[in-house]
Chain A
Amino acid sequence: MLKNTPLALKNALLALAITALIIGTVVYAINYLDRQRLSELTAIQSQLATDTLSLETQFSLLENAPCEDIASGNELSQEVSTLGDRLSSTEARLGSKNAQVIELKKQYTLLQIRDYLLTKRLATTCHITPTVALYFYSNVPGTCTDCDRAGYALSYLRQTYPSLRVYSFDYDLDLGALRTLEAVEKVQQNFPAFVINGKRSYGFSTLEEFEKEFPKALFATSTASTTTKK
């Protein structure tokens, strides 16, 4: 037996235990942070649900003069959009198959649909013509090779033309309201799919071609913005 072998053996075993402890602690800490992120999302989502309901109620109460609250509507849309960014970040971190992510996505989808309907009502009542784009994508591997490009192009357009309202939907999400929206808008399983101011289109080739799908008024009247969203 070589000199100091007992020391080496003791240290080797102790090192294994400490390494396992370090890794375990890091895994726990990361999971804790992820749980905190999910909690924050849930809290924001809950607050937004209340705000949406409040606005809808307000809308019903002041049906004759709801247009004074267009600013509130815009603000709400902005918050829904910010929530979407956070949800995307969480989905990228935890994966699209994570049960909590799926649950949050369902709630977020409902919020988007309600905001979309609210926007439509405000537009009709207040005689404004916002540009609204519904974007349907799929996370099923191989079904939508151009979705990343389409999503990025929409982010660019939304950032550059703040009057554009974009609502993104995971087509495969198991949610009744989404199924109904897909049926009402007659969206087929051909991705990426868009409904821009009521007009359906499918596929994405170039940004230039994509811009032709939007009303010219969007580019003529909007002020380009360079503010970072997050």
Chain B
Amino acid sequence: MHLEVLAYPFIFLGLYFEVFMLLTFLSAPARARRNRPATDATPKVAIIVPCWNEESTIGGTVESLLNLEYPKDRLRIILVNDGSTDSTQQVMDGYVSNPQITVLHKENGGKHTAINAGIDIADDCEFVGCLDADSFVAPDALREMMAAFADPHVSASTPAMSVFQPKSLLERMQNAEYIFGIALRHALSAVNGIYVTPGPFSLYRKSVIDEIGGFRHAHQAEDMEMALRMQRAGYEIENAPRARVFTKVPKSVPRLIKQRTRWTTGFLRNVLTDYRDLVGNPKYGVLGIMILPLGFVAVIGGMALFFLALGQVASDVFHTFTVTSGVPLAYILMPRFSLEWFYSPISFITVISFVVLVLSTSFVLIGRSVSKTDTDLTMGLVGYTFLYAFIAPFWVIRSLFDVITGTRRAWR
């Protein structure tokens, strides 16, 4: 039996998921969401910016919030300094004279405590939002987000995230991935399948937070835990595909692996412990039956495919080394490709992989189109397609190792 046969179940599930997402994207509820105009309603909103050592980016984050197209008397900005050790405090204090802004300094207690401290002083607000201090919002983002709350069952809304001014290949790869995520969240919102309300600019109905409680540590995945808690309570999580927010991303591979390890362990720990009852539970619709189980499949499948590929490559290298031993290099390295169709490497696995690749690329382009994000994706798509697979296994393996061994790592 060829080793590639072991990859078939994962390829089938990947293809199935993409087809499902495409169908959902084309459905009437998703179309209605895309056509939903930004609202003129202006309920009172507080945007909380939790900060820990963000001296270089907090200024830009605050300026972008001040530029939001929203009545100033209806928008509060709450900056929470979670015990920073750099000059974040001084930068924040520069805004105390602005009547829209409230500055709060507290001892370091973790991101969830900083957000909760902000929520505690947002008593007069109908909605609370959260914006990471390394992210920046587009001027119309809040009005787009607010339009998603017309239905009283909607407890939260998520934005359309992309990377802030991506320059390096690694940043461009992440940009393509984030924009893929825009299309994914947009489609998932049509079937209430969103399982995370990301730190960069998710918005919550405050009455729901008052009902179900504030943010928790939740294995360093407080945004995911809040989304799962809202889903369990029977609420819906919406998405505003044109509410653009731009976030800074890791600039080096080790930092990216560290960030993704935190996200993946957060997912595994939350879903394996406090939210285990959601997995496979038809009561929670697509989230319970498809999204959460496929999250596990992605982790296990990612690792399995990596080791499978590694084993195959090692076996091929060993075989080639053994077979060619003693034969001159000039002959071994002679190019042997042929343009004749007879020798074309068309096989089941290459064709299906190509179909999956076309669908994935389509989703990235769909994400860019629905969010109206003006960004060049050429290099990002190339990197995302051909290089990401070499990096992702490292955080998947590290995450599984951490979960199995109970290893806890620092946020940064």
Residues of chain A at the chain B interface (Cβ within 8 Å): 2-5, 7-8, 11-12, 14-16, 18-19, 22-23, 26-27, 29-30, 33, 37, 40, 86, 89, 93, 148-149, 152-153, 156, 159-160, 206-208, 226, 228, 230
Contacts and interface: CB of A to CB of B under 8 A. Distances in A.
A22 B342 contact: no
Contact of B15 (A23, A152, A207): A23
B347 A93 contact: yes
A86 B344 CA distance: 12
B191 A8 contact: yes
A152 B192 contact: no
A16 B16 contact: yes
28 contacts: A2-B192, A2-B284, A2-B285, A3-B192, A4-B29, A4-B191, A5-B286, A7-B29, A11-B24, A12-B289, A12-B290, A15-B16, A19-B15, A22-B19, A22-B352, A23-B12, A27-B348, A30-B351, A86-B342, A148-B319, A148-B322, A153-B326, A156-B327, A159-B331, A207-B326, A228-B334, A228-B335, A230-B343
Given A8-B286, A12-B290, A19 B19 contact: yes
B348 A26 contact: yes
B323 interface: yes
Nearest to A160: B331
Given A2-B285, A12-B289, 15 more contacts: A2-B283, A2-B284, A4-B29, A4-B190, A8-B285, A11-B23, A15-B16, A16-B16, A19-B16, A29-B351, A153-B326, A156-B327, A160-B331, A208-B326, A230-B338
B347 A30 contact: yes
Given A15-B20, A149-B322, A7 B191 contact: yes
Contacts of A19: 12, 15-16, 19
Contacts of A14: 23
Contacts of B236: 3
A18 B328 CA distance: 50
Contact of B323 (A26, A148, A206): A148
Contacts of A152: 323-324, 327
A154 to B, nearest CB: 11
A30 B323 CA distance: 30
B347 A4 contact: no
A228 B19 contact: no
B346 interface: yes
**Which A-B residue pairs are the 4 nearest by beta carbons?**
A15-B20, A207-B326, A8-B191, A15-B19
Interface string B312-334: 00000001001111111011001
A12 B289 CA distance: 10
A12 B21 CA distance: 9
Nearest to A12: B20
A89 B340 CA distance: 12
Q: Which of A11, A16, A37, A207 has the most CB of B within 10 A?
A: A11
A11 B191 CA distance: 10
A177 to B, nearest CB: 27
Contacts of B343: 89, 230
Contacts of A86: 342
Contacts of A4: 29, 190-192, 285
B7 interface: no
Contacts of A22: 15, 19, 352, 355
Contact of B327 (A18, A30, A153): A153
Contact of B19 (A5, A18, A230): A18
Contacts of A29: 351
A1 B358 CA distance: 35
Contacts of A156: 327-328, 331
B336 interface: yes
A185 to B, nearest CB: 26
B207 interface: no
B327 A40 contact: no
A14 B15 CA distance: 13
A154 B67 CA distance: 74
Contacts of A8: 24, 191, 193, 285-286, 290
Interface string B368-389: 0000000000000000000000
